[in-house]
Amino acid sequence: KRNVLIIGAGGVAQVVAHKCAQNNDVLGDIHIASRTSAKCDAIIDSIREKSSLKTDGVLAAHALDAMDSAAVAQLIRDTGVQIVINVGSPFVNMTVLEACIETGTAYMDTAIHEDPTKICETPPWYGNYEWQRRDRCAKTGTTAILGIGFDPGVVNAYAKLAIDDYLDEVTSIDIVDINAGSHGRWFSTNFDPEINFREFTGTVYSWQNGNWQTNTMFEVGKTWDLPVVGQQKAYMTGHDEVHSLATNYPQADVRFWMGFGDHYINVFTVLKNLGLLSEQPVKTAEGLEVIPLKVVKAVLPDPSSLAPDYTGKTCIGDLVKGTKDGKPTEVFVYNIADHKDAYNEVGSQGISYTAGVPPVAAAMLIANGTWDTGTMVNVEELDPKPFLTLLDQIGLPTRVKDANGDRPWNA
């Protein structure tokens, strides 16, 4: 058994905590630490309510400022955990990683580190912060699995599976993320509005013809015809995994596409053009200093409050093209998740569910030694099969669609 510390107590942390509890025969003590300890308590209450602890064990809440690396290291020592699942805001990633390197504790996150004073990180995303610490992870034998949510995360494993098992040569990887669900609110983001908007305010980067290509947001759109969710319009967007996949497969074009409805695009465009997505403080006539983006976040629904009413499905997958036996070949590796099922099981909406289950699968693979690399890796550098097998068992089954039909990946 390996004991786990979960950092953050938001939508994704709720799923992580439930899934750790359901698997606490492999994972041991479960500690949840966040800025607001009441949110950790609420997660613990919801686990006890659904009685989803597999076996009796420690389930404890802690107040923590994760921007304080020494405090994180101290909590790791006090709780005796061997694995940290960091699903706090991406602003805390490097302070948490530093604490893990200092204490030799396995580290995981689900997004690239972001500097709160910058509007949007630019390529080389992982090179800005994470990979600068790779040598120190190797030297200290610290396992660090970067970006192990769904995207980045599972989609990196899908790319590796497609390239290794279905192709001789890869020419393109298109990651498509469609949320065909409905939350019933006039407007809401599905996760932290601050992070969500920051993702789309900057330049759109993609890796094509061996170079970084730049576009503006909503400039390049395409209608995809996908399993279960049908015809969906998605737009080319910058995303963490484009960088690591382009580094590991520079011969392939790597693009990320996210589905947006016209209503989201309208609201986003108005907010942006009014300056309400700015992270630069402004002064009101009354002398009050406010950060517009923080105000927008404060008035929008808390994404975790969407869960009870959310219906519909998500489809996230990789269309990977190349050649096999000299012939052009393509395969779509994907998952379908259901918002209502996620709510019934762990009290969260589908977006949090798809992001929160994968790091728990990874923690289980670290606990049994399969993924305990003793160094820093992105997900496509690991064997995807034990990971996808475990995801099949704990809530995120993988399917494959190609010229031979549409079936479970290991059928």
Distances in whole angstroms, Cα of residue 80 to Cα of each of 1, 105, 228, 299, 386: 12, 10, 44, 39, 27
Q: How far is the CB of 38 from ligand NDP (least distance, A)?
A: 9
Least distance (Å) between residue 87 CB and ligand NDP: 5
Mention every residue, 6+ apart, whose C-beta is less than 8 A from residue 103: 73, 76, 77
167 vs 226, beta carbon nearer ligand NDP: 226
Long-range contacts of 406-410 (CB under 8 A, 24+ apart): 406/227, 409/161, 409/333, 410/385
Rank residues 90 and 395 by Cβ distance to ligand NDP and give the closer one.
Answer: 90
Q: In the complex, what is the shortest distance from the CB of residue 220 to ligand NDP, in angstroms, rounded to a whole number?
A: 22
> Residue 14 CB, nearest distance to ligand NDP (Å)?
8
Q: How far is the CB of 157 from ligand NDP (least distance, A)?
A: 12
- Residue 16 CB, nearest approach to ligand NDP (Å): 9
Of the candidates 126, 115, 88, the one whose C-alpha atom is nearest the C-alpha of residue 356 is 88
- Return all residues near 227 (Cβ < 8 A) that are at least 6 apart: 315, 332, 334, 336, 399, 401, 406
Residues of this chain that bind ligand NDP (CB under 6 A): 8-13, 34-36, 39, 64-67, 87-90, 92, 110-111, 149-153, 191-192, 195, 303-304, 351-352, 355
Q: Which residue, 152 or 347, is less far from ligand NDP as judged by CB?
A: 152
Residue with smaller CB distance to ligand NDP, 2 or 39: 39
**For ligand NDP, which is the closer residue by CB, 15 or 53?**
15
Residue type, 59: L
**Residue least distant from ligand NDP (Cβ):** 10
Of 271 and 355, which has the nearer Cβ to ligand NDP? 355
Task: Give the DSSP per-residue string, 16-64.
Answer: HHHHHHHTTTTEEEEEEEESSHHHHHHHHHHHHHTT--SSS--EEEEE-
Tokens 């420690």 found at:
58
